[in-house]
Amino acid sequence: MAKFKIGSPSSPKELIDRKEELADLLTKMKSRSINYNVAVIGYRRIGKTSILVKLQDLLEKEEKIIPIYFDVQKNMTEPKIFFTRLQKTIFDSYIQKLSGTQKAKTVTTKIMGEVLSKLLDAFKSKKITSISAQITAEGAIIPKIDFDEKKPDYTNIFYSVFKTLKALSEEGDVKFVVILDEFQDFTNLTRYEGLKDIFNLFRAVVQERGDNVSFIISGSRVHMLNKILDSGKSPLFTHFEKIIIHEMNKKFSIELFTKYLSAKKINVEEDIPEKAFELVGGNPFYLMALAEAWKPKKDIKETYHDILTSPLGSLKNYVDYILSEDLGNVKGGTILKTILRALAISEEGLSYSEISHAIGVPMTKLSFYMSNLQNSDLIEQVEKRFKIRDNIVRDYLEIEAKELE
C-alpha cells in the first residue's frame, strides 16, 4: 500500500481496472500469426505508462516472449549514449529471460559466458558489425558500439541496434515486444547528421523487423500523434493500430480515490469520492492529487480550489508546468496565453472571429497561434468553436483571468 504514490506509474499490483485495454494488448502481443504494432495514445497523466508497465509484467510470465520497456524521453541525450542505453536495455531483457529459465538462482559466470557467445553468434549471422558485447568484472554483459568518433554513422547505428532484435529473436526462437514510451521524443535526435529522417528510418525498421518483433509506441501528444498516424504521407504508421486510453469511468475513479485515502488510513465520508469525480473527472493523477490534499470534514470543492490556486498546490504546480512546457519556448507565448484566457472565461468556447475580436489579432494571423495551441493539446475544436480541452487547465485559467480583470 505504501507504494500507492502520486506521480510515478502505478505498480502492476496496485493498478486499478484497465482490464479491457490490457486484454486487447495482451492478445495482440501474444499473437505469433499476426505481427501487430500498436500505438497507445492518451493525454498526460491518464495512465499510459502504468498500463504499459503492467503489460510488461504480464508478458514476462509468458514463455518465449521478451518484453522490453524503454522510455525515450527519460533516456534522451546525445546519440552515442542514447543508443548504448537502448542496446543495454535490449540485452538486459534478453539475459533476464534466458537466465530466468535456468535452474540456478544466481547466474554464474559460466552462464554469462554462454549467453555472450550466443549473442555474438547471432550478430555475426546477421552481419551486425558495429555492435558487440563484453562481460564486465562484475559479470554483467554490456554492449559495445563501434563509433567513428570523427564521423559517426548514426544511420547505421540506428539500424544495427534494432537489427539485434531480429538476430536475437531468431537465435532464441523468442518474440520481442518493444515498448517505446514517449515515442515522439525521437524528434530530439533529428538534429544529428544521419538521423534527420528518424521516422523514416523507423519505418524501415518496422518493415524489416522479421516475424518476431512487435512494437508498441506510446505518447501523450495526442493531437500530434494522431496527425502522424492518420497522415497518408507517413506510410510507417499505417501499420500501427491505435489504442486510445481514456479517463477512468466513475466506478473505478471512485475506487481509486477511496483506495488512496484508505492507504493513508483515512476514512472518507460517503459522498466525497463521487464529488471528487464530478470535480476532476476520471484522470487518475487529478483524483490522487485531490485525495492527497483532502482532510476529513473539509468541503472537497474547497480542497480543489486550494490545490489549484495556492502557491504550493499540486494542481497549480502541474498546470504551471504544462503551460510553461507548451507555451514557454514558443514564439508568441504571450499571445497564446491571452487566447487561452479568453477561451477560459467564455461559456461555450469561441469561434475564430470571436477570438480575433476578443484579443485584437486579425483572423489571418490567428491560424498560426491556433494550430500551435492545438498541437500541444491545450485547445480542441468542437464544430466551429474552440475550447480549452482540459477542465482543470480551464478552471486554472478562468481564475487567473478573473483576477486580472
Strand ranges of the sheet holding 213-219, from the earlier edge strand across to the other edge: 65-71, 175-181, 213-219, 37-41, 240-244
Quote the Cα angle for 265-269-271, to 5°: 135
Residues 6+ apart with CB under 8 A from 371: none
Among 123, 285, 294, 304, binds ligand ATP (CB under 6 A): 285
Report the distance separating Cα 96 and Cα 106, nearest Å: 11
- Contacting ligand ATP within 192-231 (CB under 6 A): 220
| Number of residues in contact with Mg ion under rule CB under 5 A | 2
Report the distance separating Cα 67 and Cα 38, nearest Å: 14
- Contacting Mg ion within 355-394 (CB under 5 A): none
- Residue 1 touches which of Mg ion, ligand ATP, none (CB < 5 to 8 A by kind)? none
Contact between 273 and ligand ATP per CB under 6 A = no
Q: Determine contact, residues 240/203, Cβ cutoff 8 Å.
A: no
The CB-nearest residue to Mg ion is: 49
When the beta carbons of 43 and 176 are compared against ligand ATP, the nearer one is: 43
- Residue 16 touches which of ligand ATP, Mg ion, none (CB < 5 to 8 A by kind)? ligand ATP
CB-neighbour burial class of residue 214 (10 A; exposed 0-12, middle 13-18, buried 19+): buried
Q: Determine contact, residues 343/355, Cβ cutoff 8 Å.
A: yes
- Residue 304 touches which of Mg ion, ligand ATP, none (CB < 5 to 8 A by kind)? none
Q: How far is the CB of 55 from ligand ATP (least distance, A)?
A: 12
Q: How far is CA 2 from CA 10, 53, 57, 142, 393, in A?
A: 12, 18, 20, 34, 29
When the beta carbons of 49 and 164 are compared against Mg ion, the nearer one is: 49
When the beta carbons of 48 and 88 are compared against Mg ion, the nearer one is: 48
Contact between 7 and ligand ATP per CB under 6 A = yes
When the beta carbons of 94 and 257 are compared against ligand ATP, the nearer one is: 257
What phi and psi, each to the nearest 5 degrees, are found at residue 133? -145, 155
Cα–Cα nearest to 282, from 245, 248, 246 = 248
When the beta carbons of 49 and 338 are compared against ligand ATP, the nearer one is: 49
Contact between 250 and ligand ATP per CB under 6 A = no
Window contacting ligand ATP (CB under 6 A); options: 80-88, 89-97, 110-118, 281-289: 281-289
When the beta carbons of 54 and 209 are compared against ligand ATP, the nearer one is: 54
Contact between 184 and Mg ion per CB under 5 A = no
User: Three-class SS of residue 353?
Assistant: helix
When the beta carbons of 155 and 375 are compared against ligand ATP, the nearer one is: 375
Q: Determine contact, residues 146/134, Cβ cutoff 8 Å.
A: no
Report the distance separating Cα 286 and Cα 314, nearest Å: 9
**Bridge partner list, 69:** 179
Contact between 93 and ligand ATP per CB under 6 A = no
- Contacting Mg ion within 9-48 (CB under 5 A): 48
Window contacting ligand ATP (CB under 6 A); options: 5-13, 138-146, 163-171, 202-210: 5-13
Binding site for ligand ATP (CB under 6 A): 6-10, 14-18, 42, 44-50, 220, 256, 284-285, 288
Binding site for Mg ion (CB under 5 A): 48-49
